[in-house]
């Protein structure tokens, strides 16, 4: 069993921060924002073990935007886009699942 390192690219960090700020400030639900952020980060943390076992995403949008080896997992209504390179899971984006056509 491979134990993967996790690397969040700056855009993924911005995505998570933006989502948190939107829920906390725009929707005025700071507790919900914190729980949602924790859920996303927990989902990412599970990729330490499961990253390589998740199938490559076959959707055209994902392959064009993030490469033919891009993989995805979801947390609620968000899609986490990542690549596996060697023993590292690289988190590229956290986007609304509705954007994944």
Mean pLDDT of 21-34: 97
pLDDT at 8: 98
Mean pLDDT of 56-77: 95
Measured distance CA(72)–CA(101) in Å, rounded: 13
pLDDT at 99: 84
Mean pLDDT of 49-62: 94
Mean of the per-residue pLDDT values of the chain: 95
**Residue 51 structure tokens:** 């990253």
pLDDT at 101: 66
pLDDT at 18: 97
Mean pLDDT of 38-52: 96
pLDDT above 90 as % of the chain: 94
DSSP-assigned letter for residue 68: T
Mean pLDDT of 59-79: 95
3-state SS, residue 15: helix
């Amino acid at each position: 069993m491979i134990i993967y390192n996790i690397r969040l690219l700056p855009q993924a960090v911005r995505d998570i921060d933006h989502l948190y700020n939107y829920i906390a400030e725009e929707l005025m639900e700071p507790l919900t924002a914190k729980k949602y952020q924790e859920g996303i980060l927990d989902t990412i943390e599970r990729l330490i073990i499961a990253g390589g076992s998740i199938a490559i995403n076959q959707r055209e949008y994902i392959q064009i935007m993030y490469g033919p080896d891009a993989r995805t997992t979801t947390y609620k209504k968000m899609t986490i886009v990542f690549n596996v390179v060697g023993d590292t899971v690289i988190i590229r984006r956290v986007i609304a699942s509705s954007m994944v056509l």
